[in-house]
Chains A and B, each alone.
Chain A
Amino acid sequence: MPCTPHEHLCSRRAWLGATAAASFAASLGPFGAHAVAEQAQRKSKQVLFIWIDGGMSQLESWDPKPHTRFGGPLRAIPTSVPGIHFSELVPRTAKLMEHLAVVRSLCTKDNSHSAGVARIQRGDPKNRGVTYPYFGSAVAKLLGPGESGLPPYIWIKPGSGGFIHQDAGLLGPKNGALAFGDGQPPENLLRPDTIAETYDAERQELRALLNQRYASQHRPTASEANSYVYDMAHALMKRQDLFDATRLDPRDVERYGSHDLGRHMLQARNMLEAGVTFVKVNSYGWDTHHDNFNAHMSLMPKFDQAFAAIIEDLAARSMLDNVLVIALSEFGRTPRINGAAGRDHWPEAWSAIMAGAGLRKGLVVGKTNDEGTFVDSEPFDIGHMFHTWFTALGIDPHKTEYNNHGQPLPIAHDNCRAVEELLA
């Protein structure tokens, strides 16, 4: 559906905020939005996005360089795919390499946290004076909530929760994240004790009756937008079990780990099973300027445990075909070891690990030089990753656009392209 001059006159939220269905099509610009939605939703693509805040060391994870100048004290171990080695700190993940893909040739631009976190999660598009959405908001917008009706962008994080509108950037606050602080439900999600389930069902029925009458007499836009959020709230209320730790299988709790990341990852698995389109899980505390090796010896096993557990589960449930799993930081860490036995920020050459949604399995893309200081193959920026991920999700990054005030905007950096080796 081409943009008409009339659409160009609408304000941005007229197409982006008004309703899920109606505005969805308009916001995708000149190309077939419906086709994208239908195609993508038929396959029910989902994303698990694990954000390792502060900067995981590639040398102590996916790109070890033992016995070299900057290699550090840790060994490398073989993975389940011959010829590919990981750090000894990730033994469980190493056994699952046949499901995974690693990129060792990331070369990005920012070496500060404050700029890097946002730049990486926004895909570092060309600066056009607009704020791009985080990957979660982008996918939520482009794929929608799917059949579950659950909010499409859920963020499980330590600390406080809430509605994080800022992630949505130009897509408008509606496409922000619904954040569960320490996995707890958002305010007002739980029905107060005074409202019994049947009582609530009855009052909802009365409400539906009124809405039917109103809808039959008015334009659909406003009432659909309002009904949509009630439906989504209702879908979420019906899944209060997702927040009930007492319902978890103790064996799962043990496999994932009882630490924050383990608990949050297990909750993420349940959210994905429930049909949430995009689940982000955060792990904090990776900025190891001091004592990098002891810090990674403490952090990596928790990551390894939780990550391996969810990959196992997604694979066992045949969900890995449709769920794109990504784990990365805002940058890697310097090969050079500083005076405090730490590693500093290093965007020049670092790694990310991913799996699922049709990405090729059991491979490493790109390499760094012998000392791990620079990329020794074609370097990939975060824009290349966004192209790759969108493509894996069935969203053609060359044909899909955001529409900002009538200004068509590419969803991923226009100078980048998908990494073909990763795509099956």
Chain B
Amino acid sequence: MLRTTLLPCTLVATLVLACVARAEQPLHQQIDAQLAAHAGGPLNGPAGDAEFCRRVHLDLIGRIPQPAELQAFVTDSSADKRAKLVDALLASSEHPTHMASVFHVLLTERLGDHELWQAWLLASFQQNKPWDQMVREMLTPHLEDDPARGAGLFLSKRLENYGENPVDYPGLVRDVGRLFLGVDLQCAQCHDHPQVDDYLQVDYQGLYAYFKNVKLNSGAKFPSVAEQPLVSKIEFQSVFLLEKHEVALRIPFGEEKMLELFEKGQEFATPPDNKTNFPGVLKFSPLRILANDLPQANTPGFSRNIVNRMWWQLMGRGLVMPLDWHHTDNPASHPELLDALVREFTAHEFDLRHLVREIALSDAYQRSSTLPAGADANEIAETSYRVAIEKGLTPEQMARSLWTATGPWSDDKQRAELTASCVKSLALPPREPEVEFAPSVKGALFLSHDKNVLQLLEPHDGNLIERLTKATDNGANNAAAIEEAYAACLSRAPSAEERTAVNAFLDAHASARAAAWQQVVWAMLSSNEFAINH
């Protein structure tokens, strides 16, 4: 008796103490303590200044640093310069632009685009809008006159017809589960999931109920969907079993919510208006209920999903992989760490910027990606985070980095074409999540031969090629120009061997300096080192 009453008390006391102790420690220190405790081997040292500077620019503002930015950081001797750089980048106007592009790809998986959607994304990250509010806006059916009305694209794009195919409701339900809760319920549509004990058919069907009577409001001048009253529960049956089931509204793994029914003709609080394409507001609106109920700290998976995705974004590997495969039998590599991240994220009211900042401040984020001498790569599991994990540049990061390296440029049209061609040639097809680095032959041919890339190598108005050519035309200053080329393209200094090799190459092509520099710079831009965020 004594044992049974005392033990829980002691446990609770210990847990509370532990929580308090942890809470006093900044999150980035908790990250490092957790990872160190489970490293299973020596941790790599910190990335060099140049390595860190390139990585953090790519991750926080979506491009490599300019040589002057790199130089300023490397020569800064203050002890807290890394934290200062993280804060400066987070405060820069380029951070919201980059986040908008990251979240555009995450949320649409390149299904489509709309200028109001882009405006909403950008404004959201400029205001550092809390994630729960962003999700609420995306799930609200029709935001007339609201500055957030572009958010409707998340639903409206998925409710369009593709060719002769019917509207893909299962795809929409699947994406809401995957992208907001980290669970892929696709295989639970027709029966309980065959491999995952946690994913039941009722989880799929209950979520589907919210969308059953939702359709595209195609007349509206902005992304909008319309809702008809939901007047009965969803009936379903496993293809394997004969038992019939029904469910009203139910967020996966949550409580069922009963329907409220109104007499025919009385369902709308504000009736639809066909003239203005206003879809009306239901007295009992499943979608508005979802918009309210889903983005909550106590919704299973709501915080975990986005925290894990942000961790993946910066660290190159989710604590839970695949990103949409959260379930009991697929635990996080560091469950306590994930819990700590979730606690902090929730306590900070779903503040994405704070989360990104804390991760970027951790030693783990700032570790070198260079393998320790003599180490066997196979012996160092990615899940240990002992060596920083390489990430592929996204098509958008590639475009912005090519632009930065070869500039300055001023033609907005050229810039837009470069970005569009990078996306066309380097992105995966729509609906393919861009999670892994997946280079293609198409992309290699693009970077080798496409006019949008080759144009960047034409000497023009003080751009990189012109500067390098001028600097070396007199045969005077090869060394400084080689330094500049490496800083501009690879964000580092050349090694002694590289200096010698490039110098020899330039000397061998003394009669065609511009062409020689084009070759050198192209080699850098098409190198693995450039294509990878290391």
A: which residues have CB within 8 A of B? 6, 8-14, 17-18, 128-129, 151, 163, 165-166, 172-174, 178, 186-192, 194-195, 199, 202-204, 206-207, 209-211, 213-215, 217-223, 225-230, 232-234, 236-237, 405-407
Q: Which listed residue, B429, B443, B451, B529, touches A192 by the CB 8 Å rule? A: B451
* Smallest beta-carbon distance B15→chain A, Å: 28
With both beta carbons as reference points, the residue of chain B lying nearest to A219 in the complex is identified as B377
Q: Which listed residue, A128, A165, A209, A223, touches B532 by the CB 8 Å rule? A: A223
Does chain A have a CB within 8 A of B523?
Answer: yes
How many B residues touch the partner, as a band? Answer: 35 or more
Q: How far is the CA of A199 from the CA of B505 in the complex (A)?
A: 12
Write 17 A-B pairs (CB below 8 A) sorted by A numbering.
A6-B381, A10-B321, A11-B322, A11-B436, A18-B436, A129-B190, A174-B440, A207-B523, A207-B527, A210-B529, A218-B369, A219-B390, A222-B390, A222-B437, A229-B440, A229-B441, A237-B445
Q: How far is the CA of A204 from the CA of B74 in the complex (A)?
A: 31
A229 touches B439 (CB 8 A): yes
B449 touches A211 (CB 8 A): no
What residues of chain B lie closer than 8 Å to A232, measured between beta carbons?
Answer: 441, 444
A188 touches B446 (CB 8 A): yes
Q: Which chain B residues (176-228) contact chain A, with CB distance < 8 Å? A: 186-187, 190, 194-195
Q: Which listed residue, A11, A17, A221, touches B321 by the CB 8 Å rule? A: A11
A129 touches B186 (CB 8 A): yes
* Smallest beta-carbon distance B180→chain A, Å: 18
With both beta carbons as reference points, the residue of chain B lying nearest to A191 in the complex is identified as B449
B330 touches A202 (CB 8 A): no
A199 touches B519 (CB 8 A): yes
A188 touches B528 (CB 8 A): no
Secondary structure of the A side of the interface? Answer: helix
Q: Taking A13-B435, A209-B501, A229-B440 as contacts, is the C-beta distance between A222 and B532 under 8 angstroms? A: yes
* Smallest beta-carbon distance B283→chain A, Å: 37
Q: Which listed residue, B323, B428, B445, touches A189 by the CB 8 Å rule? A: B445
Q: How far is the CA of A4 from the CA of B98 in the complex (A)?
A: 37
A203 touches B523 (CB 8 A): yes
Q: How far is the CA of A256 from the CA of B186 in the complex (A)?
A: 48
Q: Which listed residue, A9, A14, A165, A233, touches B445 by the CB 8 Å rule? A: A233
A226 touches B439 (CB 8 A): yes
What residues of chain B lie closer than 8 Å to A211, measured between beta carbons?
Answer: 527-529
A199 touches B515 (CB 8 A): yes
* Smallest beta-carbon distance B519→chain A, Å: 4
Q: Taking A209-B501, A405-B322 as contacts, is the C-beta distance between A174 and B438 under 8 angstroms? A: yes
Further contacts, 10 of them, CB under 8 A, given A209-B498, A222-B437: A9-B383, A163-B442, A165-B428, A202-B519, A206-B502, A207-B522, A217-B371, A218-B370, A218-B390, A405-B325
Does chain A have a CB within 8 A of B387?
Answer: yes
What residues of chain B lie closer than 8 Å to A9, measured between beta carbons?
Answer: 321, 330, 333, 383
Does chain A have a CB within 8 A of B520?
Answer: yes
Q: How far is the CA of A294 from the CA of B501 in the complex (A)?
A: 69
Q: Taking A173-B438, A174-B438, A210-B527 as contacts, is the C-beta distance between A186 and B321 under 8 angstroms? A: no
Does chain A have a CB within 8 A of B149?
Answer: no
* Smallest beta-carbon distance A113→chain B, Å: 12
* Smallest beta-carbon distance B322→chain A, Å: 4
Q: Taking A165-B428, A405-B322 as contacts, is the C-beta distance between A233 and B441 under 8 angstroms? A: yes
What residues of chain A lie closer than 8 Å to B438, measured between beta carbons?
Answer: 13, 17-18, 172-174, 225
Q: Which 7 A-B pairs have the closest CB atoms?
A: A206-B523, A11-B322, A13-B436, A233-B444, A188-B445, A203-B519, A223-B528
Does chain A have a CB within 8 A of B454?
Answer: yes
* Smallest beta-carbon distance B455→chain A, Å: 11
* Smallest beta-carbon distance A197→chain B, Å: 13
Q: How far is the CA of A218 from the CA of B529 in the complex (A)?
A: 10
**Max chain A CB contacts within 10 Å: which of B322, B446, B505, B518?**
B322
With both beta carbons as reference points, the residue of chain B lying nearest to A230 in the complex is identified as B444
Does chain A have a CB within 8 A of B513?
Answer: no
* Smallest beta-carbon distance B526→chain A, Å: 6
Q: Taking A9-B321, A213-B498 as contacts, is the C-beta distance between A207 and B440 under 8 angstroms? A: no
What residues of chain A lie closer than 8 Å to B425, measured between beta carbons?
Answer: 188
B323 touches A11 (CB 8 A): yes
Q: How far is the CA of A6 from the CA of B425 in the complex (A)?
A: 33
Does chain A have a CB within 8 A of B524?
Answer: yes
A206 touches B519 (CB 8 A): yes
What residues of chain A lie closer than 8 Å to B186, measured between beta carbons?
Answer: 129
Q: How far is the CA of A229 from the CA of B194 in the complex (A)?
A: 36
Does chain A have a CB within 8 A of B495?
Answer: yes
Q: Which listed residue, A6, A186, A210, A226, touches B523 by the CB 8 Å rule? A: A210
B445 touches A173 (CB 8 A): no
A218 touches B436 (CB 8 A): no
Q: How far is the CA of A379 from the CA of B71 in the complex (A)?
A: 74
**Max chain A CB contacts within 10 Å: which of B436, B498, B502, B520?**
B436
Q: How far is the CA of A237 from the CA of B443 in the complex (A)?
A: 14
What residues of chain A lie closer than 8 Å to B522, measured between beta carbons?
Answer: 203, 207
Q: Which listed residue, B505, B520, B531, touches A226 by the CB 8 Å rule? A: B531
Does chain A have a CB within 8 A of B54?
Answer: no
Does chain A have a CB within 8 A of B450?
Answer: yes
Q: How far is the CA of A195 from the CA of B501 in the complex (A)?
A: 22
What residues of chain A lie closer than 8 Å to B369, measured between beta carbons?
Answer: 218-219
B390 touches A14 (CB 8 A): no
A206 touches B371 (CB 8 A): no
Q: Which listed residue, A129, A188, A222, touches B187 by the CB 8 Å rule? A: A129
With both beta carbons as reference points, the residue of chain A lying nearest to B512 in the complex is identified as A199
Interface string of B40-80 (1 = CB under 8 A from A): 00000000000000000000000000000000000000000
Q: How far is the CA of A233 from the CA of B440 in the complex (A)?
A: 9
Does chain A have a CB within 8 A of B392?
Answer: yes
Does chain A have a CB within 8 A of B95?
Answer: no
* Smallest beta-carbon distance A175→chain B, Å: 11
Q: Taking A188-B450, A232-B444 as contacts, is the C-beta distance between A18 and B527 under 8 angstroms? A: no
Does chain A have a CB within 8 A of B367?
Answer: no
Q: How far is the CA of A349 from the CA of B450 in the complex (A)?
A: 50
What residues of chain B lie closer than 8 Å to A163, measured between beta carbons?
Answer: 440-442
Does chain A have a CB within 8 A of B432?
Answer: yes
What residues of chain A lie closer than 8 Å to B323, measured between beta carbons?
Answer: 11
A18 touches B437 (CB 8 A): yes
Does chain A have a CB within 8 A of B448?
Answer: yes
What residues of chain B lie closer than 8 Å to A204, measured between beta carbons?
Answer: 523
Q: How far is the CA of A195 from the CA of B526 in the complex (A)?
A: 15
What residues of chain B lie closer than 8 Å to A192, measured between beta carbons?
Answer: 449, 451, 454
A195 touches B443 (CB 8 A): no
What residues of chain A lie closer than 8 Å to B519, measured between beta carbons?
Answer: 199, 202-203, 206
* Smallest beta-carbon distance B52→chain A, Å: 16
Does chain A have a CB within 8 A of B534?
Answer: yes
**Max chain A CB contacts within 10 Å: which of B428, B432, B442, B498?**
B442
